[in-house]
Structure 1
Amino acid sequence: MNAVALELPGLDRIRARFVDMLDERQSTIAQHALNAWDGETVEQINGNLEAAKGILHQIAGTAGTVGFQDLGQSAHECEVEIINHLEGPYADLAICPGEIIWRIDSFVAACAQIKE
């Protein structure tokens, strides 16, 4: 975060709200990932991945602004991994790539570090 952003009025409140919401958001993302991993149909798998992608997109767009650039980058990497799968040649198969689960696990670990 740059020095000007640190001086913006109300940024502390926005940052605190972001951190407060992060626990629920990361849990929801993790649950969608587990549901996708355990899914038996293309619709279950891809629907859960789409839902996780939407939340990750929100986090990626906000995290850097409130001073969590690394978390924003991690969210973005998860989002890109999901997009690559959903737009890739295996999107019509009932599979959830392990790489997505690994990236989301890394993202959840990054969230835990912020809350410490």
Structure 2
Amino acid sequence: MSALAHQMPGMDRIKHRFLELLHDRKTSIAQHALAAWDGETVELINSNLEEARNILHQIAGTAGTVGFPDLGAVAQQCEAQIIAHLEGDYADLAICPGEIIWRIDTFVEACDALGSEA
């Protein structure tokens, strides 16, 4: 966290709220990823990946500001992997690439590690 962010009034409250929301967001991302993995239609798979991407985008945009730049970077990597698939050549096939699941698993582990440190 930057020195300026440390001086911002209410930053501790914002950081605490971020951590409170992180568990539910992490769970939601994992559920969307599993639903995409198990999905049988392009629409079901891609809509779940889009939902996971949207939540990851929120986390990636906030994590660094509240003092968790590594978590933000992992969230951004997950988001990028999903975007690459949704904008790629195979977005019209009913598949969820294993790389996305692996990245999201890495994100969940990073969240769990952060929770054990907090």
Q: Residue 104 of structure 1 aligns with which residue?
A: 104
- Shift in Å, 1:64: 0.3
Q: Structure 2: which 5+ runs fail to align?
A: none
Aligned match of 1:21 = 21
Q: Quote the Cα distance in structure 1 between the aligned partners of 2:10 and 2:88.
A: 42
> What residue identity is the alignment partner of 1:32?
H
Q: Give the CA RMSD over aligned residues.
A: 0.5
Secondary structure (helix, strand or coil) at the match of 1:95 reads: coil
Partner of 2:94: 94
> Percent identity over the alignment?
67
1:35 equivalent in structure 2:
35
Task: Describe the SS at the equivalent of 1:104.
Answer: helix
Residue type of the partner of 2:99?
Answer: E
Aligned pairs for 1:28-107 within 5 A: 28-107=28-107
Alpha-carbon shift at residue 8 of structure 1 (Å) = 1.0
Structure 1 runs (4+) deviating above 2 angstroms are none
User: Deviation per CA, 1:13-68, whole angstroms, max 9, x where unpaired?
Assistant: 00000000000000000000000000000001000000000000000000000000
Which digits, 9 at most, give the CA deviation of each residue in 1:68-112, with x for residues without a partner? Answer: 000000000000000000000000000000000000000000000
Q: Which stretches in structure 1 are left out of the alignment for 5+ residues?
A: none
In structure 2, distance between residues paired with 1:2 and 1:18: 17
Secondary structure of 2:61's match? helix
Partners of 2:57 and 2:101 in 1: CA distance:
16
Question: TM-score w.r.t. structure 2 length?
Answer: 0.97
Residue type of the alignment partner of 1:87: E
